[in-house]
Structure 1
Amino acid sequence: MAASENTPTAEDEIAKTDQTVDAYDKKCIFCQIVNGEMGTELLHNDEDVSCFRDIHPGAPHHYLVVPTKHVGNCKSLGKEHVPLVEKMVETGKEILQKNNVTDLNDVRFGFHWPPFCSVTHLHLHVLAPTSLMGFLSRFVYRLNSYWFVTADQLLQRLNSMS
């Protein structure tokens, strides 16, 4: 009897499959990019986060930092996601520094708030320098708007959850 307790059951195999589905969404463009299926250059890639250039840059330096595993939009996050969001921000800062952006006072780190996000895979916009953003970009990535929250605002919201 003890041997059968350690033998994987069909339910165990289904659970493994479900975990794989949660970690990778084959319809998600960002999952495809992270997995090397789109030919997009990854500026950073580790087990937690990946980074690549935005295809429609809103500033001279516009990068997207995404969880390597599929995570929904910022509205679906809980307090347990604070370390992930913090790592996303730190990775964004590292990428800026590698690209010779030294003035971190002229940058913007933020997320589009649903339903104003085009991809449901969580992604941090890293924009620099904000002083060189055009009119449309200033509107799309506008501070204190209904559609865009800074990383600090999101972290404050997550940390206040019980």
Structure 2
Amino acid sequence: MSAEGEQPDAAGYDAKCVFCRICNSQEGGAELLHSDEELACFRDIRPGAPHHYLVVPKAHVGNCKTLTNEHVQLVQNMVEIGKCVLQKNNVTDMEDIRLGFHWPPFCSISHLHLHVLAPASQLGFLSRMIYRLNSYWFITADQLIERLQSNGPAS
């Protein structure tokens, strides 16, 4: 369900969701850096690092709290696409990256999106807070996958 209260259509598209519109090339100004049947990747409009991308499912999926263990492969695929886009953009130090999700209610858009940031060592003060490890508002992709594998639902 979108933040506006409307249900996505049968194909998983929510016309009121900006990420659904970007994935379907209906939102001007957003260049898709990656697009396949399942996922899309584009630059964050408020970058927190020199490389800041968002990887999103093309079908409207709620936030990370709505996921179950059935979504582990989706999250893993999102991580792989994020790393691939970083490498295509000449990021070579894959140890100096941050991959994660904002934890509800700290999500600005209620469509699942993986933040891909690099180099993590160059995050500014505010970005270090917004994308802070082990905080109440941000969870790494690895932590989310671990929760999904061990508990079922992420919440």
- TM-score of the superposition, structure 2-length normalised? 0.91
1:20 aligns with 2:1: no
- Measure how far apart 1:21 and its partner are: 4.2
37-46 vs 107-116, greater mean Cα deviation = 37-46
Judging changes above 3 Å, is the alpha-carbon distance between structure 1 residues 38 and 19 closer, same or farther for their aligned structure 2 residues? closer
Structure 2 counterpart of 1:24, one-letter code: Y
Counterpart secondary structure, 2:99: strand
- Separation in 2, partners of 1:101, 1:108: 12
Q: Quick check: which has more Rg, 1 or 2?
A: 1
Counterpart secondary structure, 1:104: coil
Q: How does 1:9-158 map onto structure 2 within 5 Å? A: 20-21=9-10, 23-39=12-28, 40-158=30-148
Structure 1 residue runs without a partner (length 5+): 1-17
Counterpart secondary structure, 2:85: helix
- TM-score of the superposition, structure 1-length normalised? 0.87
Q: How many residues align?
A: 145
Partner of 1:11 in structure 2?
none
Contact 2:100 / 2:114 at 8 angstroms: preserved in 1? yes
Partner of 2:3 in structure 1?
none
Structure 2 residue runs without a partner (length 5+): 1-6
Structure 1 counterpart of 2:148, one-letter code: L
**Percent of pairs identical after alignment?**
68
- Separation in 1, partners of 2:70, 2:48: 30
- Measure how far apart 1:20 and its partner are: 3.1
- Separation in 2, partners of 1:61, 1:138: 14
Two-structure CA RMSD over aligned residues (Å): 1.3
